[in-house]
Amino acid sequence: MAKQDSFSRFLFGFAAFVVCVAGLKAAETLIVPFLLAVFIATVAATPVFWLENRKVPNSLAIFLVVAALLIALSGLGAVVAQSVGLFTEKLPFYQDRLSVVITQFTDMLEPLGLDLSANIISRFDPGIALSMVGTTLRGLGGVLSNSLLILFTVIFILSEASSFPNKLKNILSNPNRDMKIFNRFGENLNRYMAIKTTVSIFTGVIISIFLAILGVDFPILWGLLAFLLNYVPTIGSIIASVPPILLALIQLGPFHALITGAGFVVVNLVMGNVVEPRFMGRGLGLSTLVVFLSLVFWGWILGPVGLLLSVPLTMTAKLALEAQESTIWIGYLLGPADAEPRLATATQDEPT
């Protein structure tokens, strides 16, 4: 009987999961802007709280942070739009350079007795690799067309952030116990987002400066791509490096392409294996398999924006699972292989 009850609970839970996934997929056009607003508000909450701790009024702190976000997003949007337009104009130049690289490559292999069909090599189009970038940016741009809705949602979330803990405390049946769980979850999530965003910004800036020094076209665009995909561990850095490496090969030659690839490897090794673990710790991470599966899952449900938000969304679920004693083992399974178990410290129910 107990086995039947367990199996029934599993079936009900699985059915509820399927219904929720189907609902998210059906409501993609509404859910995506809201999730993007929540993501932006979570990132913006750290500077808002920092200003409030320095006696800045809540409304003024929100105004300053939102204004800074608008200026930054407007500037980046203008740069991306200009870069995409210039890239389209320079496509004939890149095609000519590709023909030269193919000819040099085949001439180099002929003395070695390797005869590669020129037709096969000529079918290699770097535009295929770059099209994924364009699709992602266009998808993000389509979502940002609802910028007014996203902006107001961010403002309302930030305005409620300071009063939400008191509201939550008033409705909980056991606030002394449950508030510790919510506080732990909120602190870990804010810490993860603050550190990840800071590391991602530095990664994007370093990549942009590095590519500008090498002379690769559109360094700011590739730096922005590195910033966005840095939220996706391991896989994101590989995807972000492909377009600039191909562009360096076509524009400058094989030597500069090798230098570009080596630069990406060095930057991501230092940031991902030295800087980030030092401040974040090994416990705040995901296994490579979970990262890949989250990319597939959230990308299928939410489209290009789901790819960018896949790891933050999965990381939020992991932190929520780790906040409670009964589900901490699931959060541990989602973590990397070298992570140490994170013990929940929730107190037991007080005797009545």
The pLDDT assigned to 284 comes to 58
Which range is most confident: 19-23, 90-94, 166-170? 19-23
- Per the structure block, which two tokens stand in for 277? 């673990």
Distances (CA, A) of 92 to 79, 87, 101, 129, 270: 22, 10, 14, 17, 37
Distance between CA atoms of 307 and 301, rounded to whole angstroms?
A: 9
With b for 16 or more beta-carbon neighbours within 10 A and e for fewer, the 135-157 pattern comes to: ebbebbeebeebeeebbebbbeb
Residue 91 in 3-state DSSP? helix
Exposed (0-12), middle (13-18) or buried (19+): which is 96, by Cβ within 10 Å?
exposed
Ranked by mean pLDDT, which of 58-67, 85-94, 180-189, 308-317 comes out on top? Answer: 58-67
Note the pLDDT of residue 258: 92
pLDDT tens string 315-326 = 888 877 776 777
Report whether 335 contacts 285 (CB < 8 A): yes
**Distance between CA 265 and CA 47 in Å, rounded?**
31
Q: ∠ at Cα 145 (140, 149), nearest 5°?
A: 110
DSSP readout, 250-312? HHT-HHHHHHHHHHHHHHHHHIIIIIHHHHH-TTS---HHHHHHHHHHHHHHHTHHHHHHHHH
Band (pLDDT 50/70/90 cuts) for residue 347 is: very low
For residue 210, is pLDDT > 90?
A: yes
pLDDT tens string 129-184: 555 555 555 555 555 556 777 788 888 888 887 777 777 777 777 777 777 777 77
The arithmetic mean of pLDDT across residues 23-45, rounded, is 83
Q: Could you give the CA distance from residue 152 to residue 176 in angstroms, rounded to a whole number?
A: 33
Mean pLDDT (the chain, rounded): 76
Tokens of 19: 């219904």
Contact criterion met (CB below 8 Å) for 181 and 197: no
**pTM, 2 dp:** 0.71
Return the amino acid letter for 16. Answer: A
> What whole-number distance in Å separates Cα of residue 212 and Cα of residue 206?
10
Residue type at 325? E
For residue range 239-296, list pLDDT tens digits in order.
888 888 888 888 887 888 899 999 999 998 888 778 877 776 555 567 778 878 888 8
